[in-house]
Structure formats: structure tokens, C-alpha cells
Chains A and B, each alone.
Chain A
Amino acid sequence: MTRYIIRRLLQAIPTLIGVSIISFALAYSAPGDPVMMFTFDPNITQEAREALRHQLGLDQPIPLQYIRWFTGLTIRQGDQVAALSTDDTRCTFLGGVTVCDSGEGVIRGKLGTSMQTKQPVWDRLVERIPATLELGVTSLLLALFIGVPLGVLSAVYRGSIFDNLVRFFSVVGQAVPSFWMGIMLIFVFGVILGWLPTGGRQTVSLTQEFDLVDRIRHLILPSIVLAMGGIAVFSRIMRTETLEVINTDYVRTAKAKGLGYTRLYFVHAFRNALIPMMTLLGPAILGVLGGAVVIETVFAWPGMGRLTLSAVFQRDYPMVLGAVMVFSIFTILGNLLSDILYGVVDPRVRLK
């Protein structure tokens, strides 16, 4: 098991490098000159712009810019140690090239430096991760604890009104755009009825003390909207799987032996129906992460998704790229978790 996890984590490394190359290539193929954005002032001379471009490494070919962004090492031809060393960068002359180390590459753990605030990208993301996780985990749990029982009950009462309602709901739930559902819920519960807050993670007050009730009130609407897709998928798959399991011999045996229906469906049938659900957990995590950017925007939730979106609008590419890396890491970990749980639920599956 440990070996399996280690191997999977090692396999994730080339994937992450691939992610970094692709997203870097996308971001840096953008038309326009980032230097012009910082030096819009007409008083700035062309020489000063060139110096800034040189300092940011934007005069280098793309592969070298990638290396600079990824490792924090700037490679230049010739001996330029004296000219390039500053307080933050230390340069050395090695075999015909000057290598300068700024100490802030992606793999140094800080994911680069935000162009907008000059803070390390990681520091800005870390502030936002708890909010995104809070929302994401809550809605995943909601999806599981609502979707799974709905699916089982819908299979048990197959053909009933309840079953048809659940099936209708599971198709509609996937088709409703989450942002519209969010807006409508805000409109109904926040604006018209005034029962729940319309956005944010907590009520703004002078003291900003932790208030559990207030936090939960803020969490209700966004987590329901984010859980929507999951509830739909889970109930649908759980229904199909339960129907399949119900007709197996061992369930019939248990029934023949006089087992109560609750125990029959929720213990015996349930465990085997649950197996394929585990493969859905990875995509569900992906869905929650992807949905975060939309839901966080609608509900003014101070999470990573919203931070990424605002960085996109500000053209803060290191920030966007760093956020994408973190999202990819979450995705890969989510898929790994899903595979591990698959082995836990189904002992026949050996993870090698």
C-alpha cells in the first residue's frame, strides 16, 4: 500500500511538469508586452524599459524563461556576474554561462512571485485555501450524504413517484447552471425572504471573532449549490448500482433468511453498490474545484477560485500559473485518494 502510494506520487511528478509547461506556454504566448503594463508612464525612457525587461528575464527565449520561472535560475551567456548580482539574486559564472539564483522558482515551494503584490504566490494562496477547502469539503459531504441515500431509496422504491422525482431531479440537477441556481437562491433566500446572508464567508464586524452559527449560515447556500452536481451524479449512479446488486444471489439469500429491509439494503447491498461510487470521487473532487471559481464569484466567497479569477483579470500570470499548479496538485491527490478508497471498499482490488 505504502509502495503504491509512493509510486503514484512519483508518477505525478512528470504530470505536474507537463501541467507547468502547458500552462506556461499558454500564458506566455499571450500577445502584448507585460513590461508596458508597469511602465505606462511616458516619462520612462526606452532604456529603462529594456533594463526592466532584462531584469525580469523577458528578453530571453521562452524555454529559458520557463526554466527561470520553474527553478528560479536565470541562465545567460557570458560572464555577467558583476552586472546582474543584486540584493535578491546571487550569480555565479559556470562553464561559459552566468547562472543567477533568485530563490523564488516554482519548485522552491513559493510558486513564484505575484506581479501585482510582489508577494510570493504561495503566501497569497495559503490565505485562501482554508476557505476553498471549507466550501469544497462541505459540499462533497453534502453530495455524498444526500445523493447516496437518495439513490438507494430510489432503487428500493423503483417505479414509485419518489423514484421518478429523484430521477427527474438528478437529470435537472446536472443541467442547471450552478451560477444561475446560486443567483436565484440568493434572490429568494437572501433578498426576498432575508433568511440567509447573500454572500461572503462571515458577517463583517469590528472584532471578527469566530462565530460558528454565523459561519454556517454563510456556508449553507454556496455549499448546496456546489453540491448540486454531485448529488445528481451520486444518486443516479447509486440507483443503477443498487438495482444491479439487489438482483444478486447473496442479497436474495439474505432476504430469504428473513433479514430486515433496512439492514438488507443499507448494509448488504449497499457495500457492493458503493464500489463503483469510489471511482466517481476523483471526478467529483475535480468538479468541486472547477465549480469553486464560479460559486466563489457568485457568493463573494474569499477562496482560491476568486483569487485566480481576479489575477486573470489583472494579467498577473505568475499568480494564475501558481494557482493552476495548486489546483492540479489537488486534482491529482483527489484521484489518488479515490483509487485508494476503491481498494479499501473492495478488498478484491489489490493496489500494486
Chain B
Amino acid sequence: MTVQEVSTHSTALTAALAAESQLGRKPQSYWSMAARSLRRDKLTLVAIGLVGVMALLAIFAGVITDALVGVGPNVTNPGNAFQKPYLMPYIQWQLGIDPMTAPLMLGESGGIPHWLGTDQLGRDQLARLLYGGRVSLSIAFSAASIAVILGVTVGTIAGYFSGWVDDVVMWFINTLVSIPTIYLLIIVVAIFQPNPLTLTLFLGFLGWFGTARFMRGNVFKVKELDYTLAARSIGATNRRIMFNHIVPNSIPVIIIVTAIDVGNLILVESILSFLGLGIQPPTATWGNMLNRARNFLFLVDPVTGKPEAVHLLIWPGLLITVTVLAFYLIGDGLRDALDPMLKNRK
């Protein structure tokens, strides 16, 4: 803690003490303490805000596209391929710096403002990014839910019963993690030609091993605690102990793992789509947009000699990075907020 932090902290403390005329303080629950420590963590708040914005953009992709662009993500216009982003010329036009470029671009596109340019078929990149984000995010969220439910269930059962159940489960998991997951996914996805729904199922059903191992370790710790013994002593069934006592006490850990999982799944989905195995065109995802854009890496404008496809290369990758980064940061921030044991280890 720096000097400045200490001083702001102590002023906050004095203020809080001054505000409390009576000694009666509100009781603090675990969650309210976590929420308070989260509220102080600016970086995590920014990340949460970012994910919120991404989610809103994805949900309202249709409305936003209609309002801003006016054409759908799959409307082609071969005459207007590789148009540069309209955003900068538009600003220059409005500021009166460059009155020529923006109207010319509008003329080429038939009056449609392509804020982030167009791809090789003249499709609007902004619209494709929005719709692609919808696909990528919903796949990652649903797959993460499947993976977490499976992982928590299997991990809890293995950790709770230990013995041969644990041995069998761990052998199974260790076998599967001996194959680099990406190859496992490549095989499955190549064989079954997925649509968004089946891809979600594959990612979910092949993504729970880490969570299960993590949960198992956690259950090993928790089941030795007194309250588990107390529950057993009053005759609680195994199922009750597991799902009413152990799992709720692991919820902080589960939340942290889920946030990081969603980030990972966005990455994995984009890798598969990039390799040409995930969601197939014309449906846009950030990964397969990059797969296309990559083919035009060397394409230069015959007149100016400048690369044509820069805007197609930058935006999808940037969005993947920012989204994944946000989920990782949320995972980190939640770890600090939810896990008091780790709080001092930073």
C-alpha cells in the first residue's frame, strides 16, 4: 500500500467512524464485504462495464445495425469491396477539414455509411462485428454454463466420495487432458460440422475437466471442515451435504472459474473459427472474419500502394482481445474480492 492509499484509507475510516453516532453498526455479510471491496477495485469495475457494453451490443445488434448502418451483416455489394472506414472522413467532413472524401465514399457505397469499412464482398464490417459478437458471446456463455455445471458436479462427487470413484474420474480426466484440448476439439468439430448449437455443446462437454479438478481439490479441503461433520452427525444424506453444504460454500471459487472460463471459451471459439472449423460463413464470428481477412494480408491498392485490408485485420482481433481481457480481469478482481484467504497475497 502506498502512502497515498494509506492516507485515503484512513480518511475514509475516520469519516466512517464520524458518521456512526451510535456504536450500532450494520452487520456485514460475506457478500456485502465482497461487494465493497469490489467497488474499490476500479480496474475490475471497468472490466465489468466493458462486458456489460459488449453484452448490450450483442443483444441489440439488430437494432444498432439498423440505426447506424442500414444494411444487414450479410448484404453484399461487390462493387464496393474493401472500402475504408467511413468514420474518420466523416469527422473530417463535419469539421470542415476535408469536404471531399466522405461524400465520395457515400457515393460509392450507395448512401450507406460503412463506419468501419467493408470486407471483400462489400459487406459492412460494423454490422458483421456486432452480429459476430452475438454469436461468439452467446456460444462462450452457454458453453461455460455447461462446463461449469458438469465440472462442479463431477468434481464434487469425485472429491466427496474419493476412493475408487475418484480414481475412475481422475483417470478419465487425466486421459482426456493428455490430448491437447485443441486437437480434441479439432477432431470433433471437423467430423460433426457444427452449427452454433452443436459447437456450444462440444465446447461445453470438452471444457469441464479443469473445473472438475479444481472443484475436487476444493471439496477435499471443505469436507474436512467441522460444519460438514456437523451436517453428517445430524444425519444429512450425502446428496444433501454435497449440494446444500459443500457446493454453496464453493460458490466464490465457482464464480471465479466461470469468469475465466468464458474468456478462454471466446478464445477457443475464435481459434476454431479462424482455422475454418468453427462457425461457417456467411455467419460472421470474430474468428472467421479474421480467417477471411488473412487472405488479403498482401493486397495493396494499385494506385496508392497502401495495404487494402488493414481495417479488416485490426477490428475483429481487437474485439476478441478486449473481451477476453475483460473476463480475465473480472476473474482476477473477483478472486481478490471473494477469497479473503488470498487477499493478502498480492
Contacts and interface: CB of A to CB of B under 8 A. Distances in A.
A8 to B, nearest CB: 12
Interface string B250-278: 00000000000001000100110011110
Interface stretch (A18-26, A40-48, A201-209, A215-223): A18-26
Interface stretch (A251-259, A285-293, A343-351): A285-293
A174 interface: yes
B328 A327 contact: no
B164 interface: no
A297 B171 contact: no
Interface in B175-194: 175-184, 186-188, 190-192
Contacts of B343: none
Given A18-B171, A177-B271, A177-B320, A186 B190 contact: no
Contacts of B332: 171
B191 A297 contact: no
B345 interface: yes
B47 to A, nearest CB: 10
Interface string A28-54: 011100000000000000000000000
Q: Give the secondary structure class of B's interface.
A: helix
Q: Give the secondary structure class of A's interface.
A: helix
A187 interface: yes
Contact of A293 (B174, B182, B188, B192): B182
Interface residues of A, number: 50
A121 B1 CA distance: 59
Contacts of A327: 179-180, 183
B307 A192 contact: yes
A184 B313 contact: yes
A68 to B, nearest CB: 20
B178 A14 contact: no
Given A171-B329, A177-B271, A290-B182, A18 B175 contact: yes
Interface stretch (B23-31, B91-99, B113-121, B290-298): B290-298
B183 A290 contact: yes
B325 interface: yes
14 contacts: A23-B179, A159-B2, A174-B328, A175-B263, A177-B267, A183-B317, A184-B313, A198-B298, A286-B177, A290-B182, A293-B186, A294-B275, A315-B190, A324-B184
